[in-house]
Amino acid sequence: MIGAISLYITWPWLPGTRGATPRTIIVYGFSILGETMNEAIFPEFQAQWQTRTGERVEFISSFAGSGTITNQIILGVPAEVAILSLELDALRLVEEKVLPGPTWHDLPHGGVLNRTPFIILVRPGNPKNITDFADLTQPGVGVVHPDPLTSGGAQWAILAEYGSVLQTSGDELLAYEQLLGIWQNVVAQAASARAARTQFENGFGDALITYEQEALRDQILGRLNAQIVYPHSTILSEHTVAVIEKNIKPQQRQLIEAFVEFLWSEAAQKIFAEYGFRSMDERINVTNPNFGVISAPFTVDDLGGWPQAKREIIETIWKQRVLQEIGQ
């Protein structure tokens, strides 16, 4: 019996059981990308590369909160391509000298792969009657929120909660009160947007603030046991691709470049749209009629770009004022 177990365990490494070792691409991505990449993007590129060169490519990947993977890359994981949920994490890679500079600006759309607005997910039938971010400040509403320490999505969510008032009214005090009100109702924090979604599905809270993509894909497939609420005004998150040059061996360069180029190809962008990510190219978004309408969308550029938004909104307002106020 022990022999049989040993054989099973070592099988893939026994001589003769393995074909030519395929070339690999190591991709680290933020949490909600996992399904789209594994199910569609990777296979599509594998097929394209095989027809073009006859070579087999294997993807080695890891998906976690954007902050988590950024920290892992800083500590030296061998990522060749990183897809981060926000430019801020890419800027941290520059700060820590992983990247020589903002190299992603040379990529299409300044390195932004795709985007998705932040929405509110509520229980079926919307029992708490939530129609906008303001309703999340009502007493008795439990909000599930990812943790801004490790999740990029959480930082986008904070900008959405604060910026939606600021953009429509221009009133900083009202914006602060909305952010505070929502955070007083946060009942659970998870390490990534994906993990927060899992918590919500496991029955925590009445509302989840998350990427539209998270909910849309399941809604299209008819397996969403929740309801999407589109806020009047919300932020469009923009997801940044960083190519980690220092981890790319010379013989890998061509392959990695081809993969990165592929990410912005029409084929790949259509896949992203099919999976609920909005393309930077509006013509492609028409292919998915399920995208909801947002009356007053805004981006991080409207808040002065990430460095300023991080400093003024996340550090000063959320961390120093909101967290103090709710006594965390």
Does residue 8 touch another protein according to CB under 8 A?
A: yes
- Whole-angstrom distance, CA of residue 154 vs CA of residue 322: 15
Pick between residue 60 and residue 296 the one whose CB is nearest to another protein. 60
Backbone conformation region of residue 54, classed left if phi is above 0, alpha if psi is from -120 to 50, else beta? left
Q: Return the structure tokens found at 11.
A: 């099988």
Pick between residue 275 and residue 318 the one whose CB is nearest to another protein. 275
CB of 33 to another protein, least distance (A): 11
The DSSP H or E segment spanning 216 is helix 212-220
Does residue 221 touch another protein according to CB under 8 A?
A: no
Those residues with Cβ within 8 angstroms of residue 317's Cβ, 6 or more apart along the chain or in another chain: 162, 176, 179
Pick between residue 256 and residue 303 the one whose CB is nearest to another protein. 256
Give one DSSP letter per residue of 92-127, joined into a string.
HHHHTTSSSS-GGGGSGGGGEEEEEEEEEEE-TT-T
Does residue 197 touch another protein according to CB under 8 A?
A: yes
Does residue 61 touch another protein according to CB under 8 A?
A: yes
CB of 214 to another protein, least distance (A): 10
Contact criterion met (CB below 8 Å) for 246 and 67: no
> What is the C-alpha R_g of the chain?
21
Does residue 63 touch another protein according to CB under 8 A?
A: yes
End-to-end CA distance of the chain: 54
- Whole-angstrom distance, CA of residue 44 vs CA of residue 258: 13
Does residue 31 touch another protein according to CB under 8 A?
A: yes
The single residue among 7, 47, 60, 326 that binds another protein, judged by CB under 8 A, is 60
The single residue among 92, 115, 145, 194 that binds another protein, judged by CB under 8 A, is 194
- Whole-angstrom distance, CA of residue 43 vs CA of residue 82: 18
Site stretch for another protein (CB under 8 A), options 69-77, 127-135, 230-238, 283-291: 69-77
Pick between residue 198 and residue 316 the one whose CB is nearest to another protein. 198
Pick between residue 38 and residue 48 the one whose CB is nearest to another protein. 38
CB of 5 to another protein, least distance (A): 8
Interface residues with another protein (CB under 8 A)? 5, 8-12, 26, 31, 34-35, 58, 60-64, 72, 74-78, 190-192, 194-195, 197-198, 201
